[in-house]
């Protein structure tokens, strides 16, 4: 029972992160398309932002993991 709830929670966390990282990636591509010279800077900034969001998503997954073990 708790395992299923935890799995849903983890899924929701991943959903949010997916939307967030998707938006970052889309905006980065747009930015690079507009200004190809800045692609290096945009890429590294994109990776940092994506990593920060991913970190939050992983918190969710880990909390889910904790819940699954209850």
Q: What residues make contact with other proteins under the rule CB under 8 A?
A: 44, 47-48, 51-52, 54-56, 58-59, 61-62, 65-66, 69
Which residues, 6+ apart, have CB-to-CB distance to 2 below 8 Å? 67, 68, 70
Whole-number minimum distance, CB 31 to other proteins, in Å? 18
Whole-number minimum distance, CB 69 to other proteins, in Å? 4
Whole-number minimum distance, CB 58 to other proteins, in Å? 4
């Amino acid at each position: 029972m708790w395992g299923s709830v935890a799995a849903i929670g983890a899924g929701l966390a991943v959903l949010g992160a997916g939307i967030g990282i998707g938006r970052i990636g889309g905006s980065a591509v747009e930015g690079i398309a507009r200004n190809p010279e800045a692609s290096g800077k945009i890429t590294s900034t994109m990776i940092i932002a994506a990593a920060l969001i991913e970190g939050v998503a992983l918190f969710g997954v880990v909390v889910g993991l904790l819940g699954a073990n209850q």
